[in-house]
Structure 1
Amino acid sequence: MSALALAYDGTAMLGRQLRRVRHNPGLLILTQTMPVTMLLFFGYVFGSALAVPGEEYRTFLVPGLLVATAANGIMTGMFQAAQDAHRGVTDRLRTLPISRAAVPLGQAAADLVVTAAGTVPFLLVGLAVGWRIEGSALEAAAAVGLLLLFRFATTWIGILLGLVSRSEEAAGQLGGATFMLPLLSNAYIPTDGLPGWLRAVAEWNPISAVSTALRDLFGNAPAPADGAWPVTHPVAGSLVWCAVLVAVFMPLAVRRYADGGR
């Protein structure tokens, strides 16, 4: 099937996914307000218990929480794909004369649109609690673009896991476990105080590379001079991680969907 046909079918599936989001406002409100709630909670409750001043911690926290939220693409992608697969929607869509890649691609694209829209109020709240963009407008735009690229990559992980899950309940339970991933990174706290082995694990976590890249591009904190390669070269490390995740999980998800999503 030609690229033009894939684009046409993918756009149709994008519209389907956006209508799906519109008809589930409760989930949309929850996913959009949760990051803001976490910013206020972490910024004022945890921040008051750390050695760094509250406003300085919130400046550190905002980019990390943006990336932690982007990593939730695993959870949302998993739940939506599992829901379609186990309610027979995937089987019905496979009977249509459309590209096999269009359905998961439409889901990933719709998730990207929703994430981009949700980033705006989060950034406004970040500005209200003291966070500032200290870099140039071009660097800030690059930071947002990198954030959305990371969300796109993690969504493909979720789509694949949702398609191979045994049930919607199993997908929901596994998706909840992804909450641990940002805790093993520098999204919420610096890693320089961690034990050596745990610091290595945290710094090779893709979330750490993207969080460090956003702090650098927003002008909030420079990349550290010591540490694992992904955090000492955060932009390059983030791009490599995103490329690897997309290259591995996107074709696997498309192939799994073509095989029936079961």
Structure 2
Amino acid sequence: MSTLTAALADGVTMTRRNVIKNRRNLDIVVFSTAAPIGFALMFAYVFGSAITVPGTNYREFLIAGILAQTMLSTATNTGVGIAADMKKGLIDRFRSLPMSPTAVLVGRTSSDVITNLLVIAMMSLTGLLIGWRIRSSFWEAAAGFALLLLFAYAASWITAAIGLSARSPEALSNAMFMFLMPMTFISNAFVPTAGLPTVLRVIAEWSPVSAVVGACRELFGNTAPGLAPTGPWPVENPVPATLCWIVLILVIFVPLSVHRYKKAVSK
């Protein structure tokens, strides 16, 4: 068996291990959706009455932002899970097995994609209940959900790199919350960027969160009819911009995570 084939087989084995683990602990899915559902209801029924988005219904404008925020939140499960495994000594047990050093990371990030599918389904149902509708074709909508999953997968590698350096899962969880909240609020997730102060508007327009939210709104048909978005390249081309961000994140953080994993298990 070649080295690549063996690495893939090890990755599949670790993915299966994590899927079984998550299936026995459905609290992960419940708590991953509880806060986003709360945000969706709060923004739709409390803040939504005071927010106007020209040319479109605010609840349809909102859901793409909620879905992107949810994917970022669930991505933290990867880092927290790795940090917890390191604290419990499971990583040392894996190191003693004849397996590829990347299998642990591949298995963890891949299994979280399956969790994200369940979370997206629950959040989409919530969106439909509060008035969100998909107004595009089946394939465009499928592409929108695929972009969300790819974005979450890339974000998982960011948290994996951080989780391998964290001293404890608790510290990592608090740190990620402080990092992710500004990322979602300084974007087009909840309000149009046009009304933001100049510096914040520029940051929001070039944010990966704004790119994936804009791409999903476009693919779900939740944009203002006849009004093409204007601004920097990512604003006018959100789908290519999202793909560029995903590739860039993976190119940087996959090797970085593998390097940190090898460093951690060599101690």
The two structures have a TM-score, normalised by structure 2, of: 0.92
Which residue of structure 2 aligns with residue 49 of structure 1? 50
Corresponding residue SS for 2:141: helix
Corresponding residue of 1:134: 135
Q: How far apart in 1 are the matches of 2:139 and 2:23?
A: 32
Q: Does 1:236 align with 2:240?
A: yes
Mapping 1:1-262, distance limit 5 Å: 2-52=3-53, 56-177=57-178, 178-221=180-223, 224-260=228-264
SS in 2 for 1:169: helix
| Cα distance per residue 1:171-191 (max 9 Å; x no partner) | 122122122210111111110
Structure 1 length-normalised TM:
0.93
Structure 1 counterpart of 2:181, one-letter code? F
Identity %: 39
How far is 1:144 from its partner? 0.8
Residues 62, 131 of structure 1: 8 Å contact kept: yes
Spell out, residue by residue over 1:209-228, the C-alpha distance to the aligned partner (whole angstroms, 9 max, x if none): 00000000111116854222
User: Number of residues paired by the alignment?
Assistant: 261
C-alpha distance in 2 between matches for 1:110 and 1:74: 11
1:146 deviates by 0.6
C-alpha distance in 1 between matches for 2:3 and 2:36: 39
Shift of 1:36: 2.2
**CA positional deviation for 1:199:** 0.2
Kindly report structure 1 stretches of 4+ aligned residues shifted beyond 3 Å. 222-225
Q: Which amino acid aligns with 1:19?
A: I
Per-residue CA distance 1:235-256 (angstroms, 9 max, x = gap):
0100000000011001111121
Distance apart, 1:52 and its partner CA: 4.7
Shift of 1:74: 4.0
Unaligned runs of 5+ in 1: none
1:187 and 1:2 map into 2 onto residues whose CA distance is: 43
Letter of the 2:219 counterpart: L
CA distance in 2, matches of 1:166, 1:173: 12
Deviation at 1:148, TM superposition (A): 0.5
Given residue 120 of structure 2, which amino acid in structure 1 is its aligned partner?
Answer: T
Task: Give CA-to-partner distance per residue, 1:54-82, whole Å, 9 cap, x none.
Answer: x9111000111111111124421221111
**Structure 2 residue matching 1:192: 3-state secondary structure:** helix
Range that drifts further, 12-21 or 200-209: 12-21
Greater mean deviation of Cα atoms: 96-105 or 78-87: 78-87
* Structure 2 residues without counterparts, runs of 5 or longer: none
**Could you tell me how far apart the structure 2 residues matched to 1:156 and 1:248 are?**
9
- Indicate if the aligned counterparts of 1:77 and 1:157 stay in contact, CA closer than 8 A: no
Q: Distance in 1 between matches of 2:35 and 2:229?
A: 33
